[in-house]
Structure 1
Amino acid sequence: MTPPSPRHCLVTGANRGLGLEFVRQLLDRGDRVVATCRQPGRANALNQLTGEYPGRLHVLPLDVAEPKSQAELVRELPLVLGDDARLDLLVNNAGVLHSGERFGKVAAATLDDSLRTNATGPFLLTQSLAPLLADGGKVANLSSELGSIAGKDAFRTPSYSISKAALNMATVLLARALAERGIVVVALHPGWVQTDMGGSGAEVAPEDSAAALLRVIDRAGDGDSGRFLDRHGAPLPW
């Protein structure tokens, strides 16, 4: 299924890795993109794309964990999109993984940072952007199989796993809240991706993961809203 173009899309955590690849592929197929990251001035690869796609890419600052930063983005978006334009796709990609956690040594600050960035932030951002979302639009929350409670067989990445499990619940709640407007909300596992977070030993190239996820997003309909899917569109256990 090929979506109508151009769509208005917003991608968080867009300065590198999977977020940057989402931006590239959305632009390549003709969409208009608002790309956000914490420090746009340092996002060299992202800023280079603005010259390659004049008028179709806008880079704005956003720290998804900070409500004030979210509020500023909400104020700026109508100026970028135009007063009557709406977002057809929101990709909540920004996330954080704290490595090296050991039982008995997990710090409250680490858990708090993971939850604010990976779960609370995407939930509150989607809530704040709801008036700017198009009826029939889509929200893709980048989750992880590590957030699957049923799939957990060892103590590892606790703050990341807890926050992604919370994001999965946020996805279901947002799907219910936005259902009457026909907005589809899904939680997606991108695979083990070769990014700064996934490491060089990961199995999936960012361009392959992003392309697969976009196919899943394009196909997603009302019956998929609130589901937890892998990059091939197969359901994952909660």
Structure 2
Amino acid sequence: MDTPRIRTSVVTGANRGLGLELARRLLERGDHVIAACRAPGRATALNGLAGEHPGRLHVLPLDVADARSRAAFAAELPLVLGEAGGIDLLVNNAGVLHSGERFGRLGEANLEHSFRVNAAGPLLLAQALAPLLADGATVANLSSQLGSIAGCSRFGTPSYNISKAAQNMATALLAHALADRGIRVIALHPGWVQTEMGGEQATESVGESAAGLLDVIDGLGEGDSGRFLDWRGTALPW
């Protein structure tokens, strides 16, 4: 009997918080994991995790907002994948939130940076990695309910909200672009998570969010591509 192929997962922004926890849980379930972050040399916890899983966790540099970095990452991946085959799961987790923004004092720099990291980065990375995605793979874009236009109830964190709304459109577009290969593309709200970005007042632990997200991803069906769901599998308004 043939040995089942080991699944390969790619997680961006994997040096801390939710990305690190997702990488840990993917390893625990037996995946081969490629963890990307901007500065691997300073990713102490991630490198420690790699030491615990020799040969199954590879840490690579990636700045999703930089075209040359994305190209270098895409070029190096086949060397890491080897005979493992294609990528079964791409988690676009890397993101940025600029705090302290106020109407009347918004600047272009925060808006442009947020768009490059939160919206353009995941879209262009998925495009660059498309040839390496296995047929039937999943692309999970870590979005936010703050990117819901229908759910907008106040003025707050505009650079983040606007860029996540743009990311949601990118998710819908990617779902169409990759549909003929059976690749599912979804936008996922992880909850208000107790990370450096979410803050101490957040309501969901990193473990709860990561476990829920992976349950949702594992339970996706053919008709779920292009949807906007939270970490419990509840559909969110666009």
Q: Tell me whether the two structures share a fold, i.e. TM-score over 0.5.
A: yes
Aligned to 1:6: 6
Deviations 1:165-193 (A, max 9, x none): 00000000000000000000000000000
Aligned partners of 1:29 and 1:222: how far apart in 2? 23
Gaps spanning 5+ residues in structure 1: where? none
**For residue 70 of structure 1, what is the amino acid of its counterpart?**
R
Shift of 1:85: 1.4
Aligned to 2:196: 196
Shift of 1:222: 1.6
Q: Percent identity?
A: 68
Aligned to 2:139: 139
Is the 2:147–2:164 Cα contact (8 Å) retained in structure 1? Answer: yes
Is the 1:5–1:30 Cα contact (8 Å) retained in structure 2? Answer: no
C-alpha RMSD of the superposition: 0.9
Residue correspondence of structure 1 range 28-107 to structure 2 within 5 A: 28-82=28-82, 85-107=85-107
Gaps spanning 5+ residues in structure 2: where? none
Is the 1:5–1:31 Cα contact (8 Å) retained in structure 2? Answer: no
Aligned partners of 1:100 and 1:109: how far apart in 2? 14
Aligned to 2:156: 156
Equivalences, count? 235
Aligned partners of 1:141 and 1:221: how far apart in 2? 16
Aligned partners of 1:5 and 1:147: how far apart in 2? 36
**For residue 148 of structure 2, what is the amino acid of its counterpart?**
S
> After the TM superposition, which parts of structure 1 deviate over 6 Å for at least 4 consecutive aligned residues?
none
Deviations 1:35-88 (A, max 9, x none): 000000000000001111110000000000001000000110011001661000
Aligned partners of 2:5 and 2:49: how far apart in 1? 19
Aligned to 2:24: 24
Aligned partners of 1:236 and 1:120: how far apart in 2? 22
Under a length normalisation based on structure 2, what TM-score does the superposition of the two structures give?
Answer: 0.97
**For residue 128 of structure 2, what is the amino acid of its counterpart?**
S
Is the 1:9–1:90 Cα contact (8 Å) retained in structure 2? Answer: yes
